[in-house]
Every structure is written in structure tokens, then in C-alpha cells.
Amino acid sequence: MLLEGNNKIIDESRQGEVLQPANHPVSATKKLYLESYGCSMNFSDSEIVASIMAGIGFGITKTTDDADVIFLNTCAIRDNAEQRIWARLRDFKTAKRKKPGLIVGVLGCMAERLKSDLLEKQKLVDLVVGPDSYRDLPNLVAAAEGGQKAVNVLLSREETYAEISPVRLGSNGISSFISITRGCDNMCSFCVVPFTRGRERSRDPQTIVEEARQLFESGYREVILLGQNVDSYLWCGGGPKKDLPEEIVHKAMNKLLPETEQEKFCTFADLLEQVAAVHPDLRVRFSTSNPRDMTDAVLHVMAKHDNICKSVHLPVQSGNSDLLEKMNRGYTREEYMHRIRRIREIMPDCGISTDIISGFCGETESAHQDTISLMQWAGYDFAYMFKYSERPGTLAARKYADDIPEEIKTRRLAEIISAQTLISHESNRQNVGKICRVLAEAVSKRSSEHLSGRNSQNKVVIFPKGNFKPGDYADVLIHSCTAATLLGNPVESSN
Ligand code: SAM
């Protein structure tokens, strides 16, 4: 679904975006052209890359023509994401011929997955760098400048880039991502992330709170805490969570340890409170939640703080328990429904969104209908919907046949999308006649006389600019809606 201004996990309109620094004058001798693909984590990583490259004299350029180095920060989550990158690399082959010395590098998840193909078989790139090796960029770029092929795809057990101050790219200056964990331990059978991003590690909470404070002081009014599975965040001095005994992790996450022991840990609920305390005018969002790890403690903290947005992105993937088991999601349909009920009990006004995969291995027609009935029951505000794409090396690729014909996957996905369009429209209609507080983010893409922002539930709201500007809060009375957007008028000048 195309939602103006929405912070999507994989936002089709942002794929291949050439990122530009926000309010960041660049005085640099060499130029880096950086295209980013995939999820928000990748866009956030590009800001770390820009920061490290600035340290060796590279400023950002918008065009490939004056670039000394071209980086593609890539995604491997589905096959079509990788095909896009191969096509882009073939374009750059011509650019390299025209400009000898031009360095082309592949960063991110595809680098991790296809290092030898990229360097040896296809010979399209000079530099291949995995998501945990960006600190090594100065050495790797120097090697590539000296004519060598440079590669570092080592996955780390500790790296969180905690103290690196990101160069804010492609930002509206109002809302910014902050990475709080890296990697993923969940091993969902369809997913390549644990292989491309390694073991889950949490970042030092002090550095997260400090980053949020600096953002607020430089005018930002919203932070989005990012991780593959934010609910799984647990800090106790660094390193992979898997190194801790399972029982201790369980007790620490549910605050069941004796006080003196519990104090050594910072859970996601604790972190949320600390970030919310930075300033009441700083909104806090987070993504992505995982139904198997989300605790009531997190929901109570959300309910307690006005500046924590009432919005949960809770990927379901399928509404059928057999399929969920094959996906290794760690919950059944009923357990997922219980989580949604708890969200609604604790925060009746909470927005809920999801991710759905259509056509996973062995999906029957009735399993597909289970997904649609769950969507209708949950009444999601919006959903990111994908066709299953088999990823080499994953548990599903090794264990199950990718046996749903392409035309059936396509038809089921279309049914899911049209069901969600109706559900989203109905969910939006419920806002008509009500007032919601909106953080204005930018001038609307469709009209310079209107501002676009989001309410607490993460719904996009468009309203006449009047005296408001991006960064202001406005109380808006909603008068109409589409399936993707709420339209309204400010009821008072507030800030
Ligand atoms: N960590 C989150 C989770 O699993 O709940 C989301 C991570 S992933 C970057 C975003 C979404 O991509 C997933 O929720 C899933 O719907 C989709 N996805 C992941 N692997 C896929 C695959 N092999 N085929 C199709 N969609 C996939």
C-alpha cells in the first residue's frame, strides 16, 4: 500500500533512493554516491556508512557522474530485491568503462550472501562489505583505490556501531531512525536475515538515549527505535544474547529476577521508558515487534506515556497455525489473537499493522482463507503484503518444496491486498468526526498548501498548512478519508 509519509519496513517508493544529508554541509574532497535498498535497518545503516566515509574525506553526491565511489546498500530478503541490484550493477559497468578508477561497492545483506559471485563470477564490483564490517571501510576503500579487490563480510558478535554518530540522510529533519539491536536469532524458516545479519545483539541503552537527546536538541520530534525484533532487546553489558543462559534471559525479560540481579539488565520496556523521558515533545515509535516476545510490560509502558505512540507493528505472516509452525514463528493463530486482545485491552486506541506472506510452502486454499479471516478479525490499519520468495540456505529452502504455483501466489496476494484495502478504509472511516494530534512532518507531496504528518496510530493525516510548519503538533478534526489517508482541519493553533 502506498501511504504518503509512512515509515514502511520495505517502502517500495524508497528503493534505490539516493540519500542526501539533512542540514549537513559537506566540505569534502572526494564524492560518494550511495543508493539504499530494503528495510529501515538498511537505510539506518547507510547513515553509519556516510559517517565513516566522511571521516576519510568523502562527501555525499546526488549524481553518479561526479562520484569517486558508488555504493549500493543492498537487501536480500526476496529474490526480486536481488535482481534489482544485478540490473543496477550492469548499469555501473558502463560508468566504470567511461571513468577508470571509479570504485563500485556492494554493501549490506546481498554482500554477505553473494560475496564470491559478486567479486569473482560476475566481476562487477571492486568492494564487498557485509553489515558488520563498515568500520573497516577506510582500509577497504584504500585497498580498492590501490587496484585491489576488497572484501570483508565477517559477521560480528559485538558490533552495534553504538558510538558512531550517523550522518542523517534522506531525513525530513523531524523523524529519525535509531538502531537498537542488530541481527536476529529467531530463525523463521523463510527468512534470510539471521544468515546475512548474524546473531542478535543489543546496543548500550545510554548511547541510544543520548542519540535521542541529540536528535531532539537538533529539532527532531520523533524517533523510531529499530530492530528485527525490538521486544527481544536485552542489554547486560554487550555481546550476543544467545551467550546468556536461556532461563536467565527469560526471567530478565519478564522482570522475575531478584532486584539486585534485575538491575544489571535493561529490557525493551525499560529502554522505552528511558527514551520517552528525554522530552515529552519527542514522540517515540518502534519497529518491528514479534508476537512471540512482546510482553505486557511493554504495553503498560506504552499506555503510561503520552509521547510513546499508540501503534504496534506485529507481523503475523499467516493466519493458519500449521503454516505458522512450518514458518517456525513460535506462536499459533490463537496465541497471536491473544496478543492482539491484550493490546486492545491495555490500549483500546492502539493502531495495529502487520506483515503477511502469501503462498508459503504447502499453503492450502483453506490456510489462505484463515489468513484473510484473521486480517478481518484483527482489523489491521495497514499491512505489508508479500509473495513467498524462496531464499537459498534458509530452513524452508532446505526442508520444504516451494510448491505453490506462481499464478496461485499472485492470485492469493491480490485477494489479500484487496481485503486489506477494505479493512484499512473501514479503519480510517472510524476516525472521521474525531480529533487527533498530528506531528507535521513535511509539506504534502500533492499540495504545497497542505502539510502531511501522522497521528499516534501511525495514520497519515493531511491538513491545510495555515500557520503550522513541519515539526509542529496540530490537533486535527478529521472530515474524510481514503483507504490510505485521513483528511482534516486543525481545530486550534497548538504547539
Ligand atoms: N523481523 C521481522 C519479523 O520477522 O517479524 C520482519 C523482518 S523482514 C525484514 C520484513 C518482512 O519481510 C517479514 O515480516 C516478512 O513478511 C517478509 N519476508 C521475509 N522473508 C521473506 C521471504 N522469503 N519471502 C517473502 N517475504 C518475506
Mean pLDDT over the full length of the chain:
92
* 145-176 per-position pLDDT tens digit: 999 999 999 999 999 999 999 999 878 899 99
Atom 11 of ligand 1: nearest residue by CA position:
355
Q: How far is CA 202 from the centre of its chain?
A: 16
Average pLDDT (307-330) is 98
Q: What type of residue is 42?
A: N
Atom 1 of ligand 1: nearest residue by CA position:
228
Cβ within 8 Å of residue 131, ≥6 positions away: 45, 107, 108, 109, 111, 112, 155, 182, 196, 197, 198
* 465-486 per-position pLDDT tens digit: 999 999 999 999 999 999 999 9
As a whole number of angstroms, the distance between CA 106 and CA 403 comes to: 32
Q: What is the pLDDT of residue 170?
A: 78
Which has the closest alpha carbon to 229: 259, 271, 270, 201?
201
Whether the CB of 312 sits within 6 Å of ligand 1? no
Radius of gyration of the chain (CA): 22
**pLDDT band at residue 15, thresholds of 50, 70 and 90?**
confident
Which has the closest alpha carbon to 177: 297, 62, 19?
19
pLDDT at 122 over 80: no
As a whole number of angstroms, the distance between CA 119 and CA 100 comes to: 18
pLDDT at 97 over 90: no
**pLDDT band at residue 12, thresholds of 50, 70 and 90?**
low
Q: What type of residue is 176?
A: S
Whether the CB of 347 sits within 6 Å of ligand 1? no
Whether the CB of 360 sits within 6 Å of ligand 1? no
As a whole number of angstroms, the distance between CA 160 and CA 212 comes to: 16
Q: Which atom of ligand 1 is nearest to the CA of 390?
A: 23
- Look up the pTM and report it: 0.93
CA dist 161 to 76, 178, 207, Å?
22, 11, 10
Whether the CB of 124 sits within 6 Å of ligand 1? no
**pLDDT band at residue 23, thresholds of 50, 70 and 90?**
very low
Strand partners, 308: 284
Task: Concatenate the DSSP letters of all residues of 325-350 into one string.
Answer: HHTT-S--HHHHHHHHHHHHHH-TT-
Candidate of 328, 355, 400 to mutate for ligand 1, largest count of ligand atoms within 8 Å of Cβ:
355
Q: How far is the CA of 75 from the centre of ligand 1 (A)?
A: 12
Q: How far is the CA of 192 from the centre of ligand 1 (A)?
A: 9
As a whole number of angstroms, the distance between CA 284 and CA 176 comes to: 10
Q: How far is the CA of 439 from the centre of ligand 1 (A)?
A: 29
Q: What is the pLDDT of residue 403?
A: 98
**pLDDT band at residue 10, thresholds of 50, 70 and 90?**
low
Q: How far is the CA of 288 from the centre of ligand 1 (A)?
A: 10
As a whole number of angstroms, the distance between CA 11 and CA 300 comes to: 30
Strand partners, 488: 478
Which has the closest alpha carbon to 192: 184, 180, 202?
184
As a whole number of angstroms, the distance between CA 45 and CA 114 comes to: 19
Q: How far is the CA of 356 from the centre of ligand 1 (A)?
A: 8
Q: How far is the CA of 191 from the centre of ligand 1 (A)?
A: 6
CB 131 within 8 A of CB 46: no
CA dist 251 to 254, 271, 439, Å?
5, 17, 37
Q: What is the pLDDT of residue 153?
A: 94
**pLDDT band at residue 144, thresholds of 50, 70 and 90?**
very high
Atom 16 of ligand 1: nearest residue by CA position:
355
**248's grid cell:** 536467565
Q: How far is the CA of 41 from the centre of ligand 1 (A)?
A: 13
CB 228 within 8 A of CB 184: yes
Q: Which atom of ligand 1 is nearest to the CA of 77?
A: 20
Q: How far is the CA of 179 from the centre of ligand 1 (A)?
A: 18
Q: Which atom of ligand 1 is nearest to the CA of 193?
A: 9
Whether the CB of 73 sits within 6 Å of ligand 1? no
Stretch among 113-127, 354-368, 387-401 having the lowest mean pLDDT: 113-127
Q: How far is the CA of 143 from the centre of ligand 1 (A)?
A: 35
Average pLDDT (407-430) is 98
Whether the CB of 288 sits within 6 Å of ligand 1? yes
Atom 2 of ligand 1: nearest residue by CA position:
228
**Dihedral of the alpha carbons of 272, 277, 278, 282, in degrees to the nearest 10:** 80
Q: What is the pLDDT of residue 16?
A: 75
Whether the CB of 427 sits within 6 Å of ligand 1? no
Q: What type of residue is 3?
A: L
Average pLDDT (343-370) is 98
Judging by beta carbons within 10 Å of its beta carbon (0-12, 13-18, 19+), is residue 397 exposed, middle or buried? middle
Average pLDDT (396-415) is 98
Q: How far is CA 33 from the centre of its chain?
A: 22
Which has the closest alpha carbon to 375: 311, 319, 331?
319
Average pLDDT (42-52) is 95
Q: What is the pLDDT of residue 27?
A: 60
Per DSSP bridges, beta strands 435-443 and 382-387 are: unpaired
Atom 6 of ligand 1: nearest residue by CA position:
228
